Amino acid sequence: MFNITKKSIRWGNETLTLEAGKVARQADGSVIATLGETSVMANVTFAKSAKPGQDFFPLTVHYQERYYAAGKVPGGFFKREARPSEKETLTSRLIDRPIRPLFVEGFRNEVLIIATVLSHDLVNEPDIVAMIAASAALTISGVPFMGPIGAARVGYKGGQYVLNPSVDDLQNLRSNPDQRLDLVVAGTRNAVMMVESEAYELSEDEMLGAVKFGHAAMQPVIDLIIDFAEECAKEPFDFTPPDYGALLERVKAAGEAPMRAAFAIRDKQARTNAIAAAVTTLKAALSDEDRADANLDTAIKALESSILRGDIINGGARIDGRDNRTVRPIVCETGILPRTHGSTLFTRGETQALVVTTLGTGEDEQIIDALHGNSRQNFLLHYNFPPYCVGEVGRFGPPGRREIGHGKLAWRALQAVLPAPTEFPYTIRVVSEITESNGSSSMATVCGASLSMMDAGVPLKAPVAGVAMGLILEPDGRWAVLTDILGDEDHLGDMDFKVAGTAAGITSLQMDIKVAGITPEIMAQALAQAKEGRMHILGEMAKARDTANSFSAYAPKIETLTIPTDKIREVIGSGGKVIREIVETSGAKVDINDDGVIKIASNSAEAIRKAHDMIWSIVAEPEEGKIYTGRVVKLVDFGAFVNFFGKRDGLVHVSQITSKRLNHPSEVLKEGQEVKVKLLGFDERGKVRLGMKMVDQETGQEITEKKREEAAGA
């Protein structure tokens, strides 16, 4: 019934297995990849013809995590998986980015890839397994795909690169000073296609070494996929790339002159309008048959690309007049919004980000429900890219995949320099509103967020800057790396290479390639130019840091204290009764975690002090020999009970009330009276023994033996 193909290799510390032929047999390609006990099923289907007039490649990738994979039931009211989580969205992009450039040029049939996590061993991250499964499923499906690709995760611990670090190592990345890198690399046998990373100030050589290490480590995976496909791959889909060479020549003849004139305009909006007018003129000069050709837009793009790329590769200026290494003019302004906790307007050329920081309490932390368990996140970065930032009308609504991806890139770049929660017990939310865009807005977000957090008083270890690099790579082998690329250079170029970091090293690296990969020589040049650009931007940012505000008067003040874990229940009380009383009485917010760390937050110092005193009175232990102020709660024949420490009462024996002999405590005391008492100790049953006669009831100071004798003589 089943025609099963199964292949395995030993990869790192685990066994990697590919299996096909048993599940989802109606898909064009279906593979279950298993690493350790983490299994992901990837299914590929593709349309057998393109839609009429289709002028782009409609590839869709969905990565989905099923909670049953880790033996969990989803949280929430409906108890089923719903909208994609941030992790699922980011992994979908992670799969898409290295495979998209490898489909045969001109192929416009719709392709759908669905990767589903079936089992998670809580050791091996499923994203790498999903990338491998998707690559294998594409390779056996018959779709015109110039793969396969491999993928690997690289860590850097104790000066050594680590293949596929465990989930625990990655979860503790921020708190583990030995683990300094989480890098995902994907590529073909000969070249790197994609890099995504989070780093802790690694040098350019260390980052390049990690990419090389990952590329070498994925080669056995590529060999496995090829060996696997030789046994079970379907016949290649009958597809002939369209030949539009003759059409391109007619397009050049009709529109090259006005197009060159349009690209010579320096201002983005004027240039965009001129290019649109040149396209209109060009189409008007063509025949009806050419205008109806489905390849016309491709030919026009090829003309635009040849003009932009040709000028650069031949040593000319870029379309805005810069050379290959110059960063556009930068203006940084901080503290521009009066009531926010921190704000920055970062402008680089025609790219601008308004970045705002808000400081919250422990109640504002984001709870993340993931396969490996729940966690809390106290640093949030959200990126918004409205249509007006590029002068367009268009969709406006919830964040899309691009916005989530760009926000996460900036998050990775900045989290390496955040203070420890014990040093700065705030939840930090940063929002980047992109108000203008022509070039990397994610890197503008990194720069603006760094300044905005410092404006809010966040004690960053160092400021972080980012820069986007581009590449022109010609078929004859000539190439040029471009610093601080424009939107058109990104659109018509071959690489988007983003590097962020401090003066000491790189904190994030992201690379996407539109050609069949790049060499280590090109990557080394890009890293070197990126460092040069980053240092320049950090210098410009330093000018604004001198004017940054102190801690905002509108931000909550937070005080932390740590109590013994066995006292947590006493502070919370039955059904939360005690902590509710503390909050209502003091007016402060109180947050307690399982480790006994308590955060008290309020805009009022008095409210914080009151909550602190109330908590301390519950958890602190009275000290023998110390003097306390208490209140008489009950009089009995043999003494007085005094409430002297929180809810703690103690007995002042009648002989310890005064130096004079008393028949009954009521001779000098009454219930409700405030008195000063000294803790004398504890009896054999643990009962508290208090004394009054050795304490001056007016000053609260202990009376010395000499003064006692003088008082008795008088």
Residue 566 belongs to domain with CATH number:
3.30.1370.10
Residues 570, 566: Cα–Cα separation, whole Å:
8
* Percentage of the chain modeled with pLDDT above 70: 97
Query: What's the confidence (pLDDT) of residue 708?
Result: 55
Q: Within a 10 A sphere around the Cβ of 189, how many other Cβ atoms? A: 15
Residue 58 lies in a domain: yes
Task: Tell me how far the alpha carbon of residue 311 is from its chain's centroid.
Answer: 38
Query: What's the confidence (pLDDT) of residue 373?
Result: 77
Q: How confident is the model at residue 123 (pLDDT cuts 50, 70, 90)?
A: very high
State the average pLDDT over residues 121-143. Answer: 97
Residues 435 and 580 in one domain: no
Inform me whether the pLDDT recorded for 91 exceeds 80.
yes
Inform me whether the pLDDT recorded for 255 exceeds 90.
no
Residues 614 and 631 in one domain: no
State the average pLDDT over residues 239-266. Answer: 87
- Strands (E) in 5-159, as ranges, are 5-11, 14-20, 29-35, 38-46, 59-65, 111-119, 150-157
Residues 711, 714: Cα–Cα separation, whole Å:
5
Decide which of 545, 570, 593 is a domain's last residue. 545
* CB-count burial class (<10 Å; 0-12, 13-18, 19+) for 380: middle
Decide which of 569, 591, 619 is a domain's last residue. 619
Inform me whether the pLDDT recorded for 711 exceeds 60.
no
Residue 196 lies in a domain: yes
Inform me whether the pLDDT recorded for 490 exceeds 80.
yes
Query: What's the confidence (pLDDT) of residue 549?
Result: 56
3-state secondary structure 408-460: HHHHHHHHCCCCCCCCCCCEEEEEEEEEECCCCHHHHHHHHHHHHHHHCCCCC
Residue 413 lies in a domain: yes
**Comparing 238 with 75, which gets the higher pLDDT?**
238
Residues 59 and 181 in one domain: yes
Backbone angles phi, psi at 250, to 5 degrees: -70, -35
**Comparing 40 with 560, which gets the higher pLDDT?**
40
Residue 187 lies in a domain: yes
> What does each C-alpha distance from 113 to 40, 58, 68, 97, 308 come to in angstroms?
12, 11, 21, 13, 34
Query: What's the confidence (pLDDT) of residue 372?
Result: 81
Query: What's the confidence (pLDDT) of residue 660?
Result: 86
Q: Within a 10 A sphere around the Cβ of 631, how many other Cβ atoms? A: 13
Residue 237 lies in a domain: no
**Comparing 271 with 38, which gets the higher pLDDT?**
38
Backbone angles phi, psi at 664, to 5 degrees: -155, 140
Q: How confident is the model at residue 499 (pLDDT cuts 50, 70, 90)?
A: very high
The DSSP 8-state label assigned to residue 53 in this structure reads: T
- According to DSSP, the residues that pair with 156 across neighbouring strands are 161
3-state secondary structure 578-636: HHHHHHHHHCCEEEECCCCEEEEEECCHHHHHHHHHHHHHHHCCCCCCCEEEEEEEEEE
Decide which of 570, 597, 619 is a domain's last residue. 619
Q: Is 529 helix (H, G, I), strand (E, B) or coil?
A: helix
Query: What's the confidence (pLDDT) of residue 297?
Result: 85
In this structure, what CATH number is given to the domain that contains residue 685? 2.40.50.140
Inform me whether the pLDDT recorded for 168 exceeds 90.
no
* pTM assigned to the model: 0.85
Total domain count for the chain?
5
Q: How confident is the model at residue 594 (pLDDT cuts 50, 70, 90)?
A: confident
Nearest C-alpha neighbor of 410 from the set 327, 490, 508: 508
- Strands (E) in 350-399, as ranges, are 351-360, 366-370, 373-377, 379-384
Look up residue 650 and give its amino acid. Answer: G
3-state DSSP helix/strand/coil % of the chain, to nearest 5: 35, 30, 35
Query: What's the confidence (pLDDT) of residue 39?
Result: 98
Nearest C-alpha neighbor of 253 from the set 286, 297, 302: 286
Inform me whether the pLDDT recorded for 176 exceeds 80.
no
Query: What's the confidence (pLDDT) of residue 691?
Result: 92
Query: What is the layout of strands, in order, in the sheet containing 59-65?
Result: 5-11, 14-20, 29-35, 38-46, 111-119, 59-65
Residue 426 lies in a domain: yes
H/E stretch holding 500:
strand 495-501
In this structure, what CATH number is given to the domain that contains residue 263? 1.10.10
Q: How confident is the model at residue 153 (pLDDT cuts 50, 70, 90)?
A: very high
Range of the domain at 709: 627-713
Residues 238, 236: Cα–Cα separation, whole Å:
6
- According to DSSP, the residues that pair with 678 across neighbouring strands are 627, 691
- How does DSSP assign 118-174, residue by residue? EE--SSS-HHHHHHHHHHHHHHHH-S-B----EEEEEEEETTEEEES--HHHHHTTT
Residues 586 and 669 in one domain: no
The answer to whether the beta carbons of residues 404 and 86 sit under 8 Å apart is: yes
Residue 562 lies in a domain: yes
The answer to whether the beta carbons of residues 602 and 564 sit under 8 Å apart is: no
Residues 192 and 223 in one domain: yes
In degrees, to the nearest 5, what angle opens at C-alpha 475 toward C-alphas 472 and 476?
105
Tokens for 80, please give them.
Answer: 């089923």
Q: Is 259 helix (H, G, I), strand (E, B) or coil?
A: helix
Query: What's the confidence (pLDDT) of residue 207?
Result: 95
Nearest C-alpha neighbor of 513 from the set 575, 461, 470: 470
**Comparing 698 with 164, which gets the higher pLDDT?**
164
Query: What's the confidence (pLDDT) of residue 707?
Result: 57
Residues 499, 368: Cα–Cα separation, whole Å:
27
Backbone angles phi, psi at 9, to 5 degrees: -140, 160
Query: What's the confidence (pLDDT) of residue 174?
Result: 65
Lowest model confidence (mean pLDDT) among 198-202, 676-680, 705-709: 705-709
Residues 334 and 411 in one domain: yes
Inform me whether the pLDDT recorded for 53 exceeds 90.
no
Q: Could you report the per-residue pLDDT of 381-410, keeping only the tens digit for each?
A: 999 999 999 888 888 888 999 999 999 999
* Burial profile 686-709: b = 16 or more Cβ within 10 angstroms, e = fewer: eebbbbbbbbeeeeeeebeeeeee
In this structure, what CATH number is given to the domain that contains residue 536? 3.30.230.70
Q: Could you report the per-residue pLDDT of 623-672, keeping only the tens digit for each?
A: 888 898 899 999 998 899 999 887 788 999 999 988 888 889 998 899 99
Residues 377 and 493 in one domain: yes
Residues 374 and 416 in one domain: yes
Query: What's the confidence (pLDDT) of residue 30?
Result: 97
Residue 319 lies in a domain: no
Look up residue 304 and give its amino acid. Answer: E
Q: Could you report the per-residue pLDDT of 341-387, keeping only the tens digit for each?
A: 999 999 999 999 999 999 998 888 888 888 887 888 999 999 999 99
Inform me whether the pLDDT recorded for 705 exceeds 70.
no
Residues 492 and 595 in one domain: no
Query: What's the confidence (pLDDT) of residue 451?
Result: 96
Q: Within a 10 A sphere around the Cβ of 112, how many other Cβ atoms? A: 16
The answer to whether the beta carbons of residues 179 and 494 sit under 8 Å apart is: no
- According to DSSP, the residues that pair with 640 across neighbouring strands are 635, 652
Here the contacts of 610-615 (C-beta below 8 Å, separation 24 or greater) are 610/585, 610/586, 611/582, 611/583, 611/585, 611/586, 612/559, 612/561, 614/582, 614/585, 614/586, 615/561, 615/563, 615/571, 615/582, 615/590
Cis peptide, bond prior to residue 242, ω within 30 of zero: no
Query: What's the confidence (pLDDT) of residue 713?
Result: 52
Residues 474 and 583 in one domain: no
Q: Could you report the per-residue pLDDT of 506-547, keeping only the tens digit for each?
A: 999 999 888 766 778 888 999 999 999 999 999 999 988 765
Nearest C-alpha neighbor of 187 from the set 149, 238, 136: 149
Residues 207 and 99 in one domain: yes
Task: Tell me how far the alpha carbon of residue 540 is from its chain's centroid.
Answer: 25
Residues 637 and 681 in one domain: yes
Q: How confident is the model at residue 475 (pLDDT cuts 50, 70, 90)?
A: confident
- According to DSSP, the residues that pair with 511 across neighbouring strands are 195, 497
Tokens for 631, please give them.
Answer: 């209140």
